Structure 1
Amino acid sequence: MDQTPTSLFDAYEQDFKHLISSISDKLEGNGRNQVGEQRKAALRKVEIELDEADDIVSQLEVEIQGIPQSVKQPYAARLKQAKADLTKYKKLSKEQHSQAARSDLLSSYNRAGASNSDDPYGENSDRTRLLAGTETLNDGSRRIAESTSLALETENHGADILRTLRGQREQIENSRNMLNSADTHIDRASGTLKGMIRQMHKQRFILSGIGVFFVVLVLTILYFKLFRR
């Protein structure tokens, strides 16, 4: 597995581009031709994908902090572009949600049809059409509120995950620093032990030489005393 400082940034960026491509297709490509419930389902899917893309951008902001300054500038530009793309499609999604709500309102109005009855409270009266339109608008507002609530919950959950990841990253960095310090102390202790062993061998050699010298000296003295009288 690639462990370079930019590998995670590259991986998250690829995931982001995949999501943006899917969102673009639904908002600007083939998905734009959908109508009715299919269009509503596509827009709900866009909201989910936008939340996921938002989480990835937050993760990119975390990862860029660990990239060395010597190569950081192009990655900062890529992060800026990702933020711009996310903002663009959030705005476009909001606009198309509003268009869908207006389409539902007009559709309800067309289904109701023009009233030919003299009864002001008839089934197809202006009052009925107005109530139907108000109900559709309220339904659209509820859906937008639910989407906003879901987005806020997802954002808070993502922030908690990022805080946890940041804490774990700091723990890993502290552990790595401790291991590096321990390696340094071990190297120093190993050097000291090697020096002590060399000194011990040196002292043993000297003591052996002194012992030999005294043995030769004693033998010489005995020789002169016993055989040179």
Structure 2
Amino acid sequence: MDNSPTALFDSYEQDFQQIIQSIREKVEGDGQGEQRKAALRRVEMELDEADEMISQMEIEIQGIPQSLKPSYTSRLRASKASLTQYKKLSKDLYTSLARSDLLSSSKPGFNSSDQPYGNGERDERGRLLAGTAVLEDGSRRLLESQRVALETEEQGADILRNLRGQREQIEHARDTLRTADTSIDRASGTLKKMIRRMYQQRVVTGAIILVLVLLILIILWAKFFH
């Protein structure tokens, strides 16, 4: 298992490229009518998956070392540009397909005897259907944006919680070091006092010995010369 700091980013990028390749094949492929609509619906689902891969890549790039980050930032930027390109292309294809359906329903010869609506009613109905489709597409994209925003907010909250935990650990370590420093200062002061008392005891002991020697000398002198 690859435990390098770029392994997950590389994995997500590979998945993203596979999704983009699948999207490219669908948007450039042939097909008409319902087959084309089904392909575009699948493209929309894969665009959502690609968007999720981009979000994961943005998270993983935060942990990449600074020496490698510029290269990976460029790759992330290129992936975002590719996703934006295919999102726009998918939207244009949807619009083109809807326009083709609308135009085909209003071709000459498609008169009121073919449908239970007159020309004016049929045109109005077509415009309403097109407007409804646009609104539904906008609502779907808005819901998707909200979902991504909520996921990003949740990931940001997790990062903040991790940072808060790390800060508490650092503060605890700093308090421990401060306590250890205080203990060392106290121990140093105690050792200095002990050393000072030891020297004092040595001086007192030397003075006592000196006095005893003098007394012995005085006693000997008094005994032999008096």
TM-score range, shorter chain: 0.5 to 0.7
Q: For 1:140-219, list aligned pairs within 5 A.
A: 140-165=133-158, 167-168=160-161, 170-172=163-165, 174-175=167-168, 177-179=170-172, 181-182=174-175, 185-186=178-179, 188-189=181-182, 191-219=184-212
Say if 1:104 and 1:228 are closer, same or farther in 2 by CA, change over 3 A.
farther
Residues in 1 aligned to 2:215 and 2:146: alpha-carbon distance in whole angstroms:
102
Which shows bigger deviation, 96-105 or 149-158?
Answer: 96-105
Conserved 8 A contact 2:54-2:76: no
Which shows bigger deviation, 52-61 or 85-94?
Answer: 52-61
Structure 2 equivalent of residue 43 of structure 1: 43
Identity of aligned residues (%): 17
Q: For 1:27-38, list aligned pairs within 5 A.
A: 27-29=23-25, 32=29, 35=35, 38=38
Structure 2 equivalent of residue 52 of structure 1: 52
1:75 to 72, 77, 82: 72
Conserved 8 A contact 1:51-1:151: no
Residues in 1 aligned to 2:74 and 2:179: alpha-carbon distance in whole angstroms:
43
Secondary structure class of the residue paired with 1:88: helix
Residues in 1 aligned to 2:130 and 2:182: alpha-carbon distance in whole angstroms:
77
Structure 2 equivalent of residue 88 of structure 1: 85
What are structure 1's unaligned runs of at least 5 residues?
A: none
RMSD of aligned residue pairs (Cα, Å): 4.4
Secondary structure class of the residue paired with 1:76: helix
Say if 1:197 and 1:75 are closer, same or farther in 2 by CA, change over 3 A.
farther
Using the size of structure 2 for normalisation, the TM-score is 0.66
Residues in 2 aligned to 1:223 and 1:214: alpha-carbon distance in whole angstroms:
14
Q: Deviations over 1:6-41 (max 9, x none)?
A: x2x65245324413422431x212685672664254
Conserved 8 A contact 1:16-1:53: yes
Say if 1:171 and 1:95 are closer, same or farther in 2 by CA, change over 3 A.
same
Q: Once the 2 structures are TM-superposed, how far is the Cα of residue 202 of structure 1 from its aligned partner?
A: 2.0
The letter for the 2-side match of 1:209 is: R
Say if 1:182 and 1:13 are closer, same or farther in 2 by CA, change over 3 A.
farther
Secondary structure class of the residue paired with 1:28: helix
Conserved 8 A contact 1:43-1:93: yes
What are structure 2's unaligned runs of at least 5 residues?
A: none
User: Highest CA radius of gyration, 1 or 2?
Assistant: 2
Q: Once the 2 structures are TM-superposed, how far is the Cα of residue 87 of structure 1 from its aligned partner?
A: 1.9
Using the size of structure 1 for normalisation, the TM-score is 0.65
Conserved 8 A contact 2:98-2:130: yes
The letter for the 1-side match of 2:25 is: G
Q: Once the 2 structures are TM-superposed, how far is the Cα of residue 42 of structure 1 from its aligned partner?
A: 0.9
Which shows bigger deviation, 152-161 or 31-40?
Answer: 31-40
Q: Deviations over 1:43-98 (max 9, x none)?
A: 3412421441453365367x27x854x55432332332232223223223323333
Conserved 8 A contact 2:9-2:60: yes
The letter for the 2-side match of 1:46 is: E
Aligned length: 217
Conserved 8 A contact 2:16-2:53: yes
Residues in 2 aligned to 1:41 and 1:142: alpha-carbon distance in whole angstroms:
16
Conserved 8 A contact 1:51-1:154: no
